[in-house]
Amino acid sequence: MRELRGIGASPGAAAGPVYRLAPPPALPPLAQTFDPGAEKAAVRAAVLAVAADLARRADTARDATAAEVLRAQVMMVQDETLIDAADVAIDGGADAPHAITDVLAVHRAAFEAAGGYLAERVSDLDDLRDRLVAACLGLPMPGVPNPGHPYLLIARDLAPADTAGLETALVLGLVTAEGGPTSHTAILARTLGIPAVVRCAGILDVTDGALATLDGASGVVVAGVSTETVTTVNAARLAEIERRARSQGPGRTADGHPIALLANIGSARDLTGEVEGVGLFRTELLYLDRNDPPSHEEQVAAYRDVFAALPGRKIVVRTLDAGADKPLPFLRLADEPNPALGVRGLRVARQTPAVLTTQLAAIATAAAAADADVWVMAPMVATAAEAAAFTESCREHGLPTAGVMIEVPAAALRASQMLCHADFLSIGTNDLSQYTFAADRMCGDLADLLDPWQPALIALLASCAAAGVEVGKPVGVCGESAADPDFALVLAGLGITSLSMAPRSIPAVRESLAAHTLDECRQIAEAALAAPSPAAARAAAPAASRQLPLGGGTGSPR
Ligand code: PEP
Ligand code: MG
């Protein structure tokens, strides 16, 4: 047995044989002699196989954008000119894999020369080439494997295209050698409820088919376990999933203090099960991968879908958060040496105010036709003046409840001033960590700085919560930290009024809150706030709950 340690990125235990993301195929040397007819037939067979595989992935893709990208790839691979050009290359002396590679290299150069949107599609062409070549050579399709039974997926890291069609019935757990706890892979794993460990050195040395267990909370992976261990771990996990599925009702501490448990979503499809409401509706999905912004009508339809799903419930819509890790071609933002510190989030409205006003008008139209309690907030607000301008614009559009996200330390330090204008605050701890510690949220090497248990982050959270308590306005948290059942106790104790997370994370947080009184949460928060380091804060918080005289003690030290 071999124990490996990474960073727990999505809670839960899982066990099974490991299989790695198949690498792109290496192009073999050109065949010296071949039958041109057989090579042409091989190209046609590869096209059929790849088109069928991509179409199946598009049908099962988790989000609309990923499905669209995959369907575009199906159309590219079925383009007749590709087969015609491959035939010409084969007649000119290339075998099937080389013919495909040569033809797609010509397309690639043309895309690159065209620039703009087409230049951004070259990675789709590279992916197609890899798939077609693998099909010709009889190798497994690059990307997520399908061994025909459940398994643990291991990879260096996952690209968004790899994750689009992850089948939760097959992929029991995920271990990556790179990435960090706020990377897209980690967020996706939490959204899908797949236990995950990231930044696990040595995982790529484990051979395909070896049995392993992973603990998505502690980050421990054990390779070389027995079949009995696999059966026991998975049975326990299944029992836990079933028990949690039965957990329902609003978020409450043991003594009945309400902490609303809300969902983070990107579209109506992400709404699984009963939720109290939506605390973060990320609207970027609508804008991705397009040359022009979505029209007023398109936006109204998308927002209406979500509003209609939750009549009478609160839905917090975040206006477009473009730039940095969410680049959008149609905005044609200038190349920035430091995009995370550049024109992103609300700042885009400085250059293209119509993008924001069109969106607010569409949200207002959809809200007027629905029963939901629609709130609106802006991302990346830095000053009280920005908060004032945004909330005023919302009100002009007939949107009565307007708030701001707290993602920039300057905004957190001036939370009281923000609340002079905003009706509520929603703290995005993913970005607030990044900017407080000057640590790129995608950089796994700096994961220790991005830990929400960092005392400096907790201090900022405390002052925002206190500002809300003082004026009686809601202050929620919608970053990934809200999904940590132990950290949720700290947030409740600080005076945070709602926690928003991937819907699958809600039951564990609900249970954790229900096991502690508000007073206990306050003591846990105090202990975390006074701790000198994240490790001490983590250890101090559950220890504080164990020492409580009134029946605390369900907190689990890590
Ligand atoms: C955050 O920054 O915490 C947040 C919720 O926004 P996003 O992850 O979409 O940047
Ligand atoms: Mg953010």
Query: What is the percentage of the chain residues whose pLDDT exceeds 90?
Result: 62
Contacts of 136 (CB under 8 A, 6+ apart): 42, 43, 46, 96, 97, 100
Same domain for 219 and 100: no
> Ligand 1: does its nearest atom lie under 6 Å from the Cβ of 20?
no
244, 261, 278 - which closes a domain: 244
Contact 15, 225 (CB under 8 A): yes
Confirm whether 234 is domain-assigned: yes
Contact 295, 411 (CB under 8 A): no
Backbone angles phi, psi at 15, to 5 degrees: -150, 150
Higher-confidence residue of 117 and 52: namely: 52
pLDDT at 553: 33
For 471-487, the pLDDT digits (tens) are 999 999 999 899 989 99
Do 77 and 41 lie in a common domain? yes
Q: Is 443 an active-site residue?
A: no
pLDDT at residue 300, as a whole number:
97
Q: Is residue 552 part of a domain?
A: no
**Tokens describing residue 78:** 């079925």
Judge whether 310 lies within some domain. yes
CA 191 – CA 511 distance, rounded (Å): 18
Of ligand 1's listed atoms, the one at least distance from the Cα of 430 is 3
Q: Which amino acid is at 416?
A: S
Q: What is the pLDDT of residues 88-109, one digit of tens each?
A: 999 999 999 999 999 999 988 8
Same domain for 305 and 430, yes or no, is: yes
Residue 464, in any domain of the structure: yes
* Residues 223, 20: Cα–Cα separation, whole Å: 14
Q: Where are the beta strands (DSSP E) in 480-547?
A: 498-501
Contact present, 499 and 259 (Cβ < 8 Å): yes
Does 240 share its domain with 253?
Answer: no
Verify that 407 and 494 share a domain, yes or no.
yes
Higher model confidence: residue 326 or residue 322? 322
- What is the 432 CA–ligand 2 centroid distance (Å)? 8
Q: 495: CA distance to ligand 1 center in Å?
A: 20
CB-based burial label for 38 (10 Å; 0-12, 13-18, 19+) = exposed
Is residue 554 included in any domain, yes or no? no
Determine the average pLDDT of the residues in 416-443: 95
d(CA 131, CA 478): 38
For residue 180, give the nearest of 6, 361, 50 by alpha carbon. 6
31 within some domain: no
Q: Is the CB of 53 under 6 A from ligand 1?
A: no
Interval 32-51 mean pLDDT: 94
Q: Which domain holds residue 120?
A: 36-137
Residues 317, 340, single domain; the answer is: yes
- Catalytic residue at 296? no
pLDDT band at 160 (very low <50, low <70, confident <90, very high): low
Convert 117-129 to b/e letters by CB count within 10 Å (16 or more is b).
eeeebbebbebbb
On whether the CB atoms of residues 213 and 15 are closer than 8 A, the answer is yes
Verify whether ligand 1 is closer than 6 Å to residue 428 (CB atom): yes
**Structure token digits, residue 48:** 């059929």
Mean pLDDT, the chain, integer: 88
CA angle 261, 263, 265 (to 5 degrees): 170
The CATH number of the domain where 449 resides is what?
3.20.20.60
Ligand nearest to the CA of 427: 1
Single residue among 83, 104, 137 that ends a domain in this structure: 137
Regarding the beta carbon of 191 and ligand 1, being less than 6 Å apart is answered no
**CA angle 344-347-349, nearest 5°?**
115
Q: Is residue 110 part of a domain?
A: yes
What pLDDT, on a 0 to 100 scale, did the predictor assign at position 163? 67
Is 556 within a domain? no
312 in the same domain as 191: no
**Do residues 505 and 382 both lie within one domain?**
yes
Give yes or no: residues 495 and 375 share one domain: yes
In the predicted model, what is the mean pLDDT of residues 3-7?
A: 94
Task: Tell whether 258 and 359 lie within a shared domain.
Answer: yes
Q: Looking at the structure, tell me whether residues 457 and 357 fall in a common domain.
A: yes
Burial class (CB in 10 A: 0-12, 13-18, 19+), 80: exposed
Q: Who wins on pLDDT, 251 or 558?
A: 251
Final residue belonging to a domain, choices 244, 270, 299: 244
Q: Tell me the pLDDT tens digit for each residue of 371-425.
A: 999 999 999 999 999 999 999 999 999 999 999 999 999 999 999 999 999 999 9
Q: What is the pLDDT of residue 262?
A: 97
Q: What is the mean pLDDT of residues 320-345?
A: 80
Residue among 431, 457, 498 whose CB has most ligand 1 atoms within 8 A, to mutate: 431
Number of domains in the chain: 3
Average the pLDDT over each of 51-55, 226-230, 263-267, 541-545 and give the range with the smallest value.
541-545
Residue 249 CA to ligand 1 centre (angstroms): 26
Rounded to 10°, the helix 227-245/506-514 angle is 70
Predicted pLDDT of residue 554 = 32
Worst-scoring range by mean pLDDT, 44-53, 321-330, 460-469? 321-330
Q: What is the pTM of this model?
A: 0.74
428 CA from centroid of ligand 1 (Å): 5
Q: Which atom of ligand 1 is nearest to the CA of 284?
A: 9
Collapsed DSSP state (helix, strand, coil) of residue 177? coil
CATH number of the domain at 186, please.
3.50.30.10
- Same domain assignment for residues 57 and 177: no
The reply to whether ligand 1 has any atom less than 6 angstroms from the CB of 407 is yes
Q: What was the pLDDT predicted at 302?
A: 94
